[in-house]
């Protein structure tokens, strides 16, 4: 099976048993896996060594264009190469009228760009509009429609929905848990007033509206392992309070006005090519970058803090599958989704299988630690599995392999340009 055919000018990965090294004449010489008994591990060690400039076979710095010729297989997948939802073909000739017209708010955060890529594959590039209050990076600006939208400006939001004939609204704008505790007024404004604008406009125009909730919608009095869908919800953060409010308001609008409101409680999401926006689970992204770049990571949560986590590909696929689910298959309007749970210690041990030299030290942030200690350790998600076929694909070993491969590959590509 071909994984990543062209990772570096001096190396081509051919199969999961073999790679090729460029010789002096520019030809490629086949090599077996010599670095490790595990092909995945050997490949990642090789790439990491190249990254740090210590691999014996490393030739000159990569130059020219480096491209991925074949879609990565599972385990080497990239959030920019999302798999299609089951039963769907990728959209190569979508017409504007065949598909929903989707607006994503807060689209420049950790999740929005990846979701836009996935939705554009399903529904066509021009049918998915990303929006935010920040200026997009060039690659986002040039890859599909982008528009300024402040969710606190109701008139502007209404104009966008009307002028673009929007039918689905994915509401990603938010102030996350740790940032919210530092700026409660802002979190209240964006997460509560902003949500009211979204629900009103979605109701006025008959939109399907997706609002993510979070493990943060639970609190210390909720059962923690696992946390059921229906239980006591008394969060101790403004973020959590605003998300419980969103769940309840959305469900109320559904029952009162028939609004097609859909909500998933996401775990902490882990992604390689987008940065987290100031949450309590951010350490689980940052550790991978530190592992590859410096070999040292200072963790702001205690080593035994167990939290539910999910790889971004699973999160975005769940979102699309849930958005597409027929309304009559949904017994609930708010669902838990779960994938894996781990502590910083578990994660470090798994990374050590590939990068044994990684050093992790602990400098606990009391605000984040108190938040994490009040959150679930795992979510009970049998209703999502039953009603609309939710199934996660990434557990901890696949997550670690994929993240390290993706980050080292990304760094190689960045150096090549």
Ligand X SMILES: C[C@@H](O)[C@H](N)C(=O)O
Ligand Y SMILES: NC(=O)c1ccc[n+]([C@@H]2O[C@H](COP(=O)([O-])OP(=O)(O)OC[C@H]3O[C@@H](n4cnc5c(N)ncnc54)[C@H](O)[C@@H]3O)[C@@H](O)[C@H]2O)c1
Among 124, 268, 308, 376, which residue sits at the site for ligand Y (rule: CB under 6 A)? 268
Shorter beta-carbon distance to ligand Y: residue 176 or 377? 176
How remote is the C-alpha of 394 from its chain's centroid? Answer: 12
Residues of this chain that bind ligand X (CB under 6 A): 176-177, 214-216, 239, 268, 279-281
In angstroms, give the least distance from the CB of 139 to ligand Y.
15
Residue whose CB is nearest to ligand Y in the complex, by number = 109
Asked about 362 being catalytic, the answer comes back as no
Which of ligand Y, ligand X, none does residue 376 bind (CB under 5 to 8 Å by kind)? none
Shorter beta-carbon distance to ligand X: residue 161 or 270? 270
Residue whose CB is nearest to ligand X in the complex, by number = 279
Shorter beta-carbon distance to ligand Y: residue 309 or 355? 309
Is there binding between residue 235 and ligand Y (CB under 6 A)? no
Which of ligand Y, ligand X, none does residue 108 bind (CB under 5 to 8 Å by kind)? ligand Y
Classify residue 76 by burial, with Cβ atoms within 10 Å: 0-12, 13-18, 19+. Answer: buried
In angstroms, give the least distance from the CB of 358 to ligand Y.
22
Is there binding between residue 199 and ligand Y (CB under 6 A)? no
Is there binding between residue 344 and ligand Y (CB under 6 A)? no
| Three state DSSP letters for the chain | CCCCCCCECCEEEEECCEEEEECCCCCEEEEECCCCCCHHHHHHHHHHHHHCCCCCCCCCCCCCCCCCCCCCCCCCCCCCCCCCCCCCCCCCCCCCCCCCCEEEECCCCCCHHHHHHHHHHHHCHHHEEEEECCCCCHHHHCCCCEEECCCCCHHHHHHHHHHCCCCEEEECCCCCHHHHHHCHHHHHHHHHHHHHHHHHHHHHCCCEEECCEEHHHCCCCCCCCCECCCCCCCCCCHHHHHHHHHHHHHHHHHHHHCCEEEEEEECEEECCCCCCCCCCCCHHHHHHHHHHHCCEEEECCCCCCCEEEEEHHHHHHHHHHHHHCCHHHCCCCEEECCCEEECHHHHHHHHHCCCCCCEEEECCCHHHHHHHHCCCCCECCHHHHHHHCCCCCCCHHHHHHHHHHHHHHHHHHHHHC
Shorter beta-carbon distance to ligand Y: residue 76 or 115? 115
Is there binding between residue 233 and ligand Y (CB under 6 A)? no
Among 62, 106, 124, 235, which residue sits at the site for ligand Y (rule: CB under 6 A)? 106
Is there binding between residue 42 and ligand Y (CB under 6 A)? no
Which of ligand X, ligand Y, none does residue 177 bind (CB under 5 to 8 Å by kind)? ligand X
Among 109, 250, 308, 376, which residue sits at the site for ligand Y (rule: CB under 6 A)? 109
| Residue of 28, 141, 172, 239 marked catalytic | 239
Shorter beta-carbon distance to ligand X: residue 214 or 374? 214
In angstroms, give the least distance from the CB of 9 to ligand X.
37
Residue 203: CA atoms inside 13 Å, Cβ hemisphere, count?
Answer: 17
Is there binding between residue 269 and ligand Y (CB under 6 A)? yes
Judged by CB under 6 A, the stretch of 27-35, 273-281, 360-368, 405-413 that binds ligand Y is 273-281
Please, which of residues 112-171 interact with ligand Y by CB under 6 A? 112, 132-134, 150-152
Please, which of residues 281-340 interact with ligand Y by CB under 6 A? 281
Residues that bind ligand Y (CB under 6 A): 105-106, 108-112, 132-134, 150-152, 172-174, 176, 190, 194, 212, 214, 266, 268-269, 276-277, 279, 281
Annotated catalytic residues are 239
């Amino acid at each position: 099976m071909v994984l990543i055919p062209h990772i570096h000018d001096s190396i081509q990965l051919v199969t999961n048993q073999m790679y090729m090294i460029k010789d002096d004449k520019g030809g490629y010489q086949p090599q077996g896996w010599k670095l490790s008994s595990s092909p995945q591990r050997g490949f990642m060690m090789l790439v990491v060594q190249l990254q740090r400039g210590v691999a014996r076979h490393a030739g000159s710095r990569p130059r020219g264009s480096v491209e991925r010729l074949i879609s990565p297989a599972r385990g080497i997948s990239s959030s920019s190469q999302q798999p299609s939802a089951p039963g769907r073909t990728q959209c190569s000739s979508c017409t504007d009228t065949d598909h929903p017209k989707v607006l994503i708010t807060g689209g420049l955060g950790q999740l929005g760009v990846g979701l836009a890529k996935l939705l554009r594959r399903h529904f066509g590039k021009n049918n998915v509009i990303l929006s935010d209050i920040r200026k997009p990076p060039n690659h986002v600006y040039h890859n599909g429609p982008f528009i300024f939208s402040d969710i606190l400006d109701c008139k502007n939001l209404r104009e966008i929905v009307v002028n673009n004939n929007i039918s689905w609204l994915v509401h990603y704008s938010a102030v996350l848990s740790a940032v919210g505790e530092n700026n409660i007024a802002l979190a209240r404004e964006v997460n509560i007033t902003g949500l009211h604008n979204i629900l009103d406009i979605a109701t006025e125009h008959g939109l399907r509206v997706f609002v993510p909730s979070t493990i943060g919608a639970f609190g210390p009095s909720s059962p923690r392992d696992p946390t059921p869908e229906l239980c006591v919800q008394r969060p101790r953060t403004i973020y959590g309070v605003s998300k419980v409010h969103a769940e309840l308001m959305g469900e109320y609008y559904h029952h009162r006005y028939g609004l097609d409101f859909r909500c998933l409680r996401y775990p902490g999401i882990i992604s390689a090519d987008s940065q987290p926006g100031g949450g309590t689970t951010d350490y689980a992204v940052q550790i991978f970058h530190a592992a590859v770049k410096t070999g040292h990571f200072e963790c702001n949560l205690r080593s035994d803090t167990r939290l539910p986590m999910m790889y971004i590909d699973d999160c975005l696929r769940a979102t699309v599958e849930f958005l597409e689910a027929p309304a009559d298959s949904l017994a609930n309007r708010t669902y838990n989704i779960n994938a894996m749970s781990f502590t910083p210690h578990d994660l470090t041990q798994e990374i050590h299988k590939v990068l044994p030299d990684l050093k992790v030290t602990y400098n606990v942030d009391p605000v984040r630690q108190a938040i994490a200690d009040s959150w679930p350790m795992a979510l009970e998600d049998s209703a999502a599995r039953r009603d609309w076929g939710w199934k996660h694909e990434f557990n901890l070993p696949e997550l670690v392999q994929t993240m390290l491969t993706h980050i080292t590959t990304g760094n190689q590509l960045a150096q090549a340009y």
